[in-house]
Chains A and B, each alone.
Chain A
Amino acid sequence: MNFWIVLTVNSVTFGGLLFLLASGFSLIFGLMRIPNLTHGSLFMLGAYVGGSIVIGLFGVKLNFWLAAVLASLTVAALGAVIERFLLRQLPGDQLAQVLVTLGISFMAADFCLMIWGGDPMSVATPEGLGGFARVGAAVFPMYRLAIIAIAVVVAVALWMLLDRTRLGAMIRAGVDDPDMARVVGIRVSQLFTIVFALGAGLAAFAGIIGGPILSVYPGLDQDMLPLALLVVIIGGAGSLLGSFVGSILVGFIYNFGQALLPELAYFVLFLPMLLVLLLRPQGLFGRHVP
Chain B
Amino acid sequence: MSALTITGLNKSFGGLHVTRGVDLNVQPGERRLIIGPNGAGKTTLFNLITGELTPDSGTVALFGQDITRTPSRDRPHLGMARTYQIITLFGKDTIIHNVRLALLGLSPTRWNPWTDLRHQGRFTEAGHKALARVGLSHIAERPLAQTSYGERRRVEIAMALAQEPKVLLLDEPFAGLSIDERRDVHKCLMAIPRDVTIVMIEHNMDVALEFAERITLLHFGEVIVEGNRAEVVDDPRTREVYLGH
Q: Do chains A and B touch in the complex (CB under 8 A)?
A: no
Q: Which residues of A contact B (CB under 8 A)?
A: none
Q: Which residues of B contact A (CB under 8 A)?
A: none
